[in-house]
Structure formats: structure tokens, C-alpha cells
Amino acid sequence: MGSDGATGASPIRVALDVMGGDHGPPETVKGALEALESHDIELLLVGDGDVVQAELAKHDLAGKPVKVVPSVDRIGDDEHPLHALRAKPKASILVATGLLKSGDADVLVSMGPTGASMASAVLVLGMMEGLERPCIGGPFLGMGPRTVLVDMGTNIDCRPALLVSFAALGAVFARSFLDIDNPRIGLLSVGAEEAKGNRQVQECFQLLQDSHLNFIGNVEGMDFFTGRADVIVCDGFVGNILMKFTEGLGAALGPFLEERLSSILTPEELDRVTSDIWRATNQPRIMGGPLWGVNGAVVLGHGSCKAGEVAGAIDTAVRYVEIGLVDSMRQELLVVAGQQSASKLKADS
């Protein structure tokens, strides 16, 4: 492997914020090198020079397409994202995002902090037309790996029209990332009938029905498992609660099963099934979440990621670039914006 990859195309250039994540450089560097084994990519490792070199020295890099891009400082979990970005203009996340902006990288992967990574992406890359803030979406559960949830938590108070944009982006993702033709869009509510739901959902129902999307109506909490919809849309408040609830439930199922099965299963068998459940309930953590709506391919991993999940986020990043998700999403938002101004004109006339 290397820049003369088997496909003949140029390798995808992945900028990784090495300083990010709770476990920092030892895990991010290890994960990045793991990802090199299975992809024709070039790694741009952004971080404090000495720290990155010290980590790289632990591995055999002979012939591997790895570049170190020096940065100064990192942004911590406890800092206010915007203040910190202003105070540390050479911080790893800003330098890494800059590589994407200047065209020196094709995709950016960051293990957080999420707030700083998002703010950096919005500031440096800018938002796509028709969206004010990015959103996070993707497959949410190992028991329903082809059902996409959006928004997973970046937009807390949403106007109904914003949920339509999320739905449109979810449809693009389902089509190009999951190969689902004409994805079915469901609006998360408390009953299937149109009249069910809070004001936000009731207004959004009408907007989705008037849109070009394949809207199937309201769906409910159990429909993450029934396969009724390919994309389930909710605001980030509900999405974030659901995601953390699921992670908590997955973790609680470990001891729950252990109590019932430890006398029947071997420790290895028990470990295998509880790990499977953990993975199924921590899907976004494992694959990394593409940040939708910024002008560039950005994949955010969970802060607690270890090397395996860092490699998983890079997998996602590679596919994100290969299928041209940023361009498709940008075009889709223009369609939605056109529809919304047309209905506004109609309503005003």
C-alpha cells in the first residue's frame, strides 16, 4: 500500500487530530496505523511534534505513508470551545481542520472534544447553504444497523423546518452510505397518527408531507427495531437522550446477563455476548459520526475511543470521501431550500 495504491487513484489523505480523545496520542496513533493496514490512505498526524514522534517511535513505519503536521497545544474537555479556539490558534484541531480547508487533506477525523471539533469545523470550513448549525446522524443501533437516526444531539431547540433539512440529509446518507433506494423517512413521535406529537412535530409533519422526500409519517420509539423507516428524524434533545440511554442500557445489560448466565456460560462465552451487546448499543461510538452540514468531510469519534474505534472512525471517513457525501448533501440542501422558499412565496401571496 501507499500513494501508489492498487486502484490507481490517489490515496485518500486523512488528517487526524492526534491530541484528541480521552486517551490521547497513544491510542489515536495506534488506531491510525491500524487503519493503514486496510485502506489505501495517507495519514496526516496533527499534534505536538515531540509527542507524536515519541508515539510513532513505538511502531515500525518503514514505507508507510505517514506525515506529521506539527501543532501547538490542545483543547481540553473543560474549555469553552469558542474561547479556547481563539486563545489557541495553533491548537491541533484548528491545524487539522485547516488542512481540509486548504485542500491538503480530504477528510478530518477527531476524537473530540466534540464541541471544539464542531466549532472548529464551522469556523474554518463554514456551513452549507440552508443550514445554520451542523447535525450528527448515522446508524444508531446494532439491532437496526440500517436505520439512520438524525439529529444525535447537536441541535437542541429546532424549528420544524430544520428537521426537514435533517431528514433530507438523512435520506442522502441512507442512499449513498447504506445503498438504500428512495429511503423512507419517519418522524419520531408518540403515535402514528398525524395529530400525535408536540407542536414541533405536528408542524414538521406538514412540511415533510409537502416535501420531495419519501415521508411515511410518524414513527414511535419501537420503530428503531421494526425497520418501518430507513431514517428516523428528531431534534438533538431527544436524539442525545436516546443515544446516552442506549449506551447506559447496553452497559447495564452486562451485569444483568452475568448474574443470570455466569454459572452456565464460560467466562469467554459470557464476555463475547456482553461485548456484542456493548457494540450493538454503542454503534456511533464505534463507527464515528460524520458531521453533516459543514463544507468538508469531518468525522467525529467519541472521546472515550481506544485504538480500535479510532480505526473504525477512519474506516467511516474513507467511505465518506469515496461516496462524495459532502457534495450530495450540499446539493440536497439546495433542493430543500428551494422548496421552502417556494412554499413561503405561495403562503405569502
Q: Which residues bind a copy of itself (CB under 8 A)?
A: 141, 143-144, 153, 156-157, 188-190, 197-199, 201, 220-226, 234-238, 240-249, 251-253, 256-257, 260-261, 264-265, 269, 272-273, 276-277, 280
Residue closest to 21 by CA, chosen among 74, 89, 68, 72: 74
Q: Is 10 helix (H, G, I), strand (E, B) or coil?
A: coil
Shortest CB 304 distance to a copy of itself, Å? 12
By the 10 Å C-beta count (0-12 exposed, 13-18 middle, 19+ buried), 346 is classed as exposed
**Beta carbon nearer to a copy of itself, 34 or 220:** 220
**Beta carbon nearer to a copy of itself, 152 or 336:** 152
> What single DSSP character describes residue 241?
H
**Beta carbon nearer to a copy of itself, 114 or 211:** 114
**Beta carbon nearer to a copy of itself, 251 or 335:** 251
Shortest CB 224 distance to a copy of itself, Å? 6
Shortest CB 277 distance to a copy of itself, Å? 8
Shortest CB 143 distance to a copy of itself, Å? 4
Residue closest to 290 by CA, chosen among 154, 196, 162: 154
Shortest CB 127 distance to a copy of itself, Å? 21
- The amino acid present at 65, given as its one-letter code, is P
**Beta carbon nearer to a copy of itself, 164 or 277:** 277
In sequence order, the 6+-apart residues with CB closer than 8 A to the CB of 208 are: 163, 164, 167, 185, 187, 215, 233
| Cβ contact 311:318 at 8 Å | no
Residue closest to 108 by CA, chosen among 307, 321, 268, 272: 321
Shortest CB 85 distance to a copy of itself, Å? 19
**Beta carbon nearer to a copy of itself, 40 or 309:** 309
If phi over 0 gives left and psi between -120 and 50 gives alpha, with beta otherwise, what is residue 220? beta
